[in-house]
Structure 1
Amino acid sequence: MGQVTTSSHSPASTIGQDTMIDHAIQAQGLRLTLGQGPSAVEVLKGVDLSVPRGQTLALLGPSGSGKSSLMSVLSGLERASAGALEVAGSDFAGLDEDGLARARRGRIGIVLQAFHLLPTMTALENVATPLELAGLDGARERAMAELEAVGLGHRLSHYPTQLSGGEQQRVAIARALAPRPSLVFADEPTGNLDAATGQSIVELLFARRAETGATLLVITHDESLAQLCERIVTIADGRIAHDTAATAAPEPTLG
């Protein structure tokens, strides 16, 4: 893999310690409890995290560590049970589900391990339809341009079943980036791909992020993928165990 370009931000401090930094995310005391009564499980146990705009950050940890739950809360897919959270200029802690959906629209892009493409829609329609529903001008043209940027300009009219796994993930990346969000989450983006395809997808994701200047959070259990980010936050048992600057390897091999 070629060298990935990242911005020059260093790991940020927690809320209130450095108000001069322009943050994409500021979280303090985040808790998430799933279930009720005796079966309730606390999966996030007081997480403090600040992410400067434009930073690339990896949330690293094994399955069950809480990293995907943290992404769900930070991205507005799940409401925290307690704590303060500001994302992309919005107070997520004070919003209901409808408010979170409105706050995410156009500001946050999400790439998941499962591609979540609509099987009855073409690649172009899968990217254009969310833009149209959001009321964005030139939705079809923007979708075409984004698919061209991810190397699928020749596959616009193909349905998901006619695309390889790598091509489907490229469509998913195009869909996430087409609204030109300021913040992008990628949750195990190579998890369903073979090593070679996964490496090309990672290169594409980081290249497109560099072009747009978006903040990128990669959720992964893969240390070599995490090293491509300029900062690594390790999650263990629902808490932040380590928060360090990465030492990027020039030619990492994805496992």
Structure 2
Amino acid sequence: MTNPPLAISARNLTLTLGSDAAPVDILRGIDLDVADGEVVALLGPSGSGKSSLMAVLSGLERATSGSLTVAGQDFTALDEDALAEARRGRVGIVLQAFHLLPTMTAAENVATPMELSGASDVRARAEEELRAVGLGHRLDHYPTQLSGGEQQRVAIARATAPRPQLIFADEPTGNLDAATGHEIIDMLFARRKETGATLLIITHDPELAERCERVITMGDGVIASDTKSETAAQ
């Protein structure tokens, strides 16, 4: 059987921060392949390197050394501007703190990244995506007029609207109550399934990890375990 194409391929990936005199090794030789369409949970205690790994894989942070290919693009030698360009259309990101622009409406928050990447019909696409996450009645509301759950739905719509090959989510329910958090996860998984994107999600929630096809646990800057789930229920 032919192996599926890879959304992510990393070899001996390292990240070192701090000064030359006092370097701090954050990632210490990561080897990782993620197949197209795979749903992966990334676990680990604080300081284990999981958020740093996601930052490198998503192009928000440059690796210090190693090789990295994401959605067919070689991220290895790109500078910050080139990484930002490479992310557009390939990578969608959902963060714990929403990071919506407060002076823009929900529709504008979703449309603006597509507009910056040169897409067409961005307003119509933004409205369609917001309707898909149950916010068709909130198109012209500003973030301060939305609940936390609604703001995260806008963030999901913003991430999925360009139809990226990969979606990264870093503790997307961290600022939400349990009931709202469950709704947001259901929405995120539904949108991922409908778009066919690869999903890599950082979580401390074992129940959420069980919904993923694969669970990777980080420890001290390396991958401590990497297991396939037999009970994944997306």
Equivalence for 2:214: 231
The secondary structure found in structure 1 opposite 2:134 is coil
The answer to whether 1:205 aligns with 2:192 is no
In the alignment, is residue 126 of structure 1 matched against residue 102 of structure 2? no
Q: Please tell me whether the aligned partners of residues 108 and 181 of structure 1 are also in contact (alpha carbons under 8 angstroms).
A: yes
What CA deviation, in whole Å up to 9, does each residue of 1:75-114 have, x standing for no partner?
0000000101000001100211111111100110000001
Q: Structure 1 CA distance, aligned partners of 2:16 and 2:217?
A: 20
Find the residue that maps to 2:76 and give its secondary structure: helix
Aligned with 1:155 (options 125, 138, 163): 138
* Identity across the alignment (%): 69
**CA, structure 1 residues 89+19, in 2 after alignment: closer, same or farther (shift >3 Å)?**
farther
The whole-number CA distance in structure 2 between the counterparts of 1:154 and 1:139 is 18
Q: Which amino acid in structure 2 is aligned with residue 81 of structure 1?
A: T
Which residues in structure 2 correspond to 1:56-67 (within 5 Å)?
A: 56-67=39-50
Aligned with 2:223 (options 234, 240, 249):
240
User: 2-side partners of 1:33 and 1:222: how far apart?
Assistant: 28
Map residues 37-48 of structure 1 onto 2, 5 A cutoff: 37-48=20-31
Counterpart in 2 of 1:72? 55
The one-letter amino acid of 1:241's match is A
Q: Match of 1:227, SS? A: helix
CA deviations 1:24-74 (Å, max 9, x no partner) are 000010000011133321010000000000000011111111000000000
Please list, as runs of the form range in 1=range in 2, the aligned pairs for 1:28-177 lying within 5 A after superposition: 28-177=11-160
- In the alignment of these two chains, the number of paired residues is 234
Q: Could you tell me the TM-score, scaled by structure 1's length? A: 0.89
How far does the alpha carbon of each residue in 1:5-24 deviate from its partner, in whole angstroms, 9 at most, with x for none? xxxxxxxxxxxxx9943100
Paired letter, 1:33:
T
Match of 1:15 in 2: none
Structure 1: gaps of 5 or more residues: 1-17
Match of 1:7 in 2: none
* Cα shift at 1:250: 6.1
Q: Would you say the 8 A contact 1:63–1:221 is kept in 2?
A: no
Measured against aligned partners, the alpha-carbon deviations of 1:115-154 in whole angstroms (never above 9, x if no partner) come to: 0001111111111111111110110000000000000000
Structure 1 residue aligned with 2:177: 194
Distance in 1 separating the partners of 2:142 and 2:153: 13
SS in 2 for 1:145: helix
Q: Cα RMSD between the aligned structures?
A: 1.5
Match of 1:222 in 2: 205
Give 1:221 shift. 1.9
* Alignment check: 8 A CA contact 2:212 2:232 kept: no
Give distance in 2, aligned partners of 1:145 and 1:53: 25
Comparing 37-46 and 154-163, the one that deviates more: 37-46
Alignment partner of 2:211: what SS?
coil
Change (3 A) 1:166 1:83: same
- What one-letter code is carried by the residue in structure 1 that aligns with 2:134? G
